A = this chain, B = another copy of it.
Amino acid sequence: MIIQFEKDINSAQKEAIVNRVKGLKYKPTTVITQKGEYLIGTGKKDFDIREIGHMEGISDIHIVSDDYKLVSKKWKVKPTIIDLGDGVVIEEGGFQIMAGPCSIESEDQIRKVIGHLKENGISIMRGGVYKPRSSPYSFRGLGIEGLQLWYQLAKEAGIKIITEVMQVSQIAEMYPYTDIYQVGARNTQNFNLLDELGKVDKPVMIKRGISGTIDELLSSAEYVFSGGNERLLLCERGIRTYESATRNTMDLNAIAVLKEKTHLPVISDPSHGIGIRDFVEPIALASIMAGADGVIFETHEKPEEAYSDGQQTLNFEESTKMINRMRKTFELRESF
């Protein structure tokens, strides 16, 4: 169950509610976010909602039997809106594109990508400065200096930054230079990282795990939300299956299902979802029809010279073409 407290609730009222919840053999957990205060009750027994609902200090109460509660649409029907400031908003009904290289490489590279984004009216740039790599001997990113450089150039251009955070100690370090923290597929169940991101007042985009279930993705989001941060996005980026013709198997079913289960915006990453440059566009367009609220993809002036993921990165010409088609596809979907 989710109990929303009234703003002016007093401590005696709180205690009474907590005791009533315990009396039902439910375990109470208090959650305080930027937007409000909640009491989450977890338990198994059926109960009559009226036993609690009328108590003083309660603004609303909902029964949510899933493992994830605060991220569920059963409780919050209204879609979550992620406002990055300066008019940049990610929300249901307002298609957002995030594009950029796999890795941030150099000032020149950043400038060129920013130029490309500006030409196409894109407001959010992706790029990695901490790179999770299977081998310890691979390029592992430019680190915080790369991010600082990037931030300076992006800010001048009025571009927002989404970039991956890999560990707790980076959260504070990255804070001044980041607009959206991205949690990568290998960290979807790095629960300490999720806990700490719950304490931050910047949006977090959580990618689905390499072989994560839809429910696990929602539970990971529940970690951040219950830690105090409601500003969350979910991202489908393909799952691991037996099929080796493509890098991953893009699971567009998941986008359709997530849009029904949660009030959080759902983003599609076709670059990782299929992993082959020529097929990024059809999968991007398909994911919009499946219900995505935004698309994140990889682009680079010269993909064949990129430090990483070149095989799935679009050049600027391909990128421009795809951006136009995505917008038309979104328009058609919204007309339905």
Chain A residues with CB under 8 Å of chain B are: 27, 29, 40, 42, 67-68, 132-137, 166-169, 186-187, 189-193, 195, 209-211, 213-216, 219, 222-223, 226-227, 238-246, 249-257, 260, 273-274, 276, 278-279, 282-283, 285-291, 325, 328-329, 332-333, 336
Contact = CB atoms under 8 A, between A and B. Distances in A.
A241 B245 contact: no
Given A216-B134, A260-B278, A241 B246 contact: no
A214 B243 contact: yes
Contacts of A137: 27, 29, 40, 42, 226
**What's the number of copies of this chain in the assembled complex?**
4
A104 B248 CA distance: 37
B260 A253 contact: no
Contacts of A186: 189-191
A182 to B, nearest CB: 15
A245 B223 contact: no
A249 B246 contact: no
A254 B274 CA distance: 9
A193 B277 CA distance: 32
Contacts of A282: 252, 255-256, 289-291
Given A42-B135, A132-B191, A167-B168, 8 more contacts: A135-B222, A136-B195, A136-B226, A186-B189, A213-B242, A213-B244, A238-B253, A245-B253
A2 to B, nearest CB: 11
A249 B256 contact: no
Contacts of A274: 253, 256
B245 A257 contact: yes
Nearest to A287: B286
5 contacts: A136-B191, A136-B227, A211-B240, A245-B254, A252-B282
- Most-contacted residue by chain B among A238, A278, A279 (CB, 10 A): A279
Contacts of A169: 168
Contacts of A190: 167, 186-187, 190
Nearest to A247: B253
Nearest to A137: B42
Pick from A216, A239, A289 the residue with the most CB of B within 10 Å.
A289
